[in-house]
Amino acid sequence: MNLLETALTGLNWSELHRTLDKQGFAKLPRLLSADTCRKLVQEYDNEDIYRKTIDMARYRFGIGEYKYYQAPLPDVLQELREGLYPELAKAWVPFIREPDTAWALSFMTPSSARTIAREW
């Protein structure tokens, strides 16, 4: 088990779900090393790994930009997605049942969708 897997399995999901329900957000402990973050930041100017760049000012979202990665995601981001989304999906279930929030399904991984299917 690598450090990220260890960090993800050590999360107190019961407490995180309670905090999400109460506040609408929950702060996670550090999941990535400084070195891993540095590597991700260093790749920011590598346009080959992104499929789209959004200028936030154009849409009145503020100042700056954000980028959508090409598939496949970098390994560490895929690992985060697979480690976090199934648990987050459990918190989304009550809201996704509402017709105006079905769009949220498009953000889920297949394993997250399976989690929701089990909950329904």
Structure pTM?
0.72
Percent helix, strand, coil in the chain, to 5, is 60, 10, 30
Note the pLDDT of residue 106.
58
Spell out the domain ranges in the chain: 3-31+72-119, 42-71
Report phi then psi at 68, rounded to 5. -100, 125
Report phi then psi at 2, rounded to 5. -85, 175
Q: Mean pLDDT, to the nearest integer, of 89-94?
A: 74
2: confidence class by pLDDT, cuts 50, 70, 90: confident
- pLDDT (tens digit, 9 = 90+) per residue, 44-70? 999 999 999 999 888 888 899 989 999
Residue 97 has pLDDT above 90, yes or no: no
Q: What is the pLDDT of the chain when averaged over all its residues?
A: 83
98: confidence class by pLDDT, cuts 50, 70, 90: low
